[in-house]
Amino acid sequence: QLVCVTGAAGYIASWLVKFLLERGYTVNATVRDPNNPKKVDHLVNLDGAKERLHLFKADLLEEGSFDSAVQGCQAVFHTASPFFIGAKDPQAELLDPAVKGTLNVLKSCAKSATLKRVVLTSSVAAVANNDRPKGPDVVVDETWFSDPEFCKRNGKWYNLSKTLAEEAAWKFAKENSIDLVTINPAMVIGPLLQPELNTSAAAVLNFVNGSPTFKNVTLGWVDVRDVAIAHVLAYENASANGRYLLVERVAHFGDVVKILHDLYPTLQLPQKCVDDRPYDPIFQVSKEKAKSLGLEFTPLEVSIKDTVESLKEKGFI
Q: How far is the CB of 86 from ligand NDP (least distance, A)?
A: 14
Q: How far is the CB of 11 from ligand NDP (least distance, A)?
A: 3
Phi (first) and psi of residue 246, to 5 degrees: -125, 105
Q: How far is the CB of 60 from ligand NDP (least distance, A)?
A: 4
Q: How far is the CB of 267 from ligand NDP (least distance, A)?
A: 22
Q: Which is nearer to ligand NDP, 24 or 304 (CB)?
A: 304
DSSP state, 125?
Answer: G
Distance CA 139, CA 205 (A): 29
In the chain the beta strands, taken as DSSP E runs, fall at 2-6, 26-31, 53-57, 75-78, 117-121, 139-140, 180-185, 187-189, 213-214, 218-223, 242-246, 249-252, 272-273, 284-285
Distance CA 264, CA 202 (A): 18
Q: How far is the CB of 9 from ligand NDP (least distance, A)?
A: 4
Task: Supply angle C-alpha 271, 205, 282, rounded to 5.
Answer: 60
Terminal Cα distance for the chain, rounded: 40
Q: Which is nearer to ligand NDP, 3 or 188 (CB)?
A: 188
Task: Show Cβ contacts of residue 224 under 8 Å, excluding neighbours closer than 6 positions.
Answer: 11, 12, 15, 188, 189, 190, 191, 303
Which residues have a catalytic role annotated?
162
Q: What is the H or E stretch that residue 270 is in?
A: none
Q: Which is nearer to ligand NDP, 21 or 60 (CB)?
A: 60
Binding-site ranges for ligand NDP (CB under 6 A): 7, 9-13, 31-32, 39, 59-61, 79-83, 97, 121, 123, 162, 185, 187-188, 198, 200
Q: How far is the CB of 139 from ligand NDP (least distance, A)?
A: 19
Whether residue 5 contacts residue 77, with contact meaning beta carbons closer than 8 Å, is answered with yes
Q: Which is nearer to ligand NDP, 196 or 275 (CB)?
A: 196
Whether residue 2 contacts residue 72, with contact meaning beta carbons closer than 8 Å, is answered with yes
Q: Which is nearer to ligand NDP, 231 or 305 (CB)?
A: 231
Q: Which is nearer to ligand NDP, 30 or 112 (CB)?
A: 30
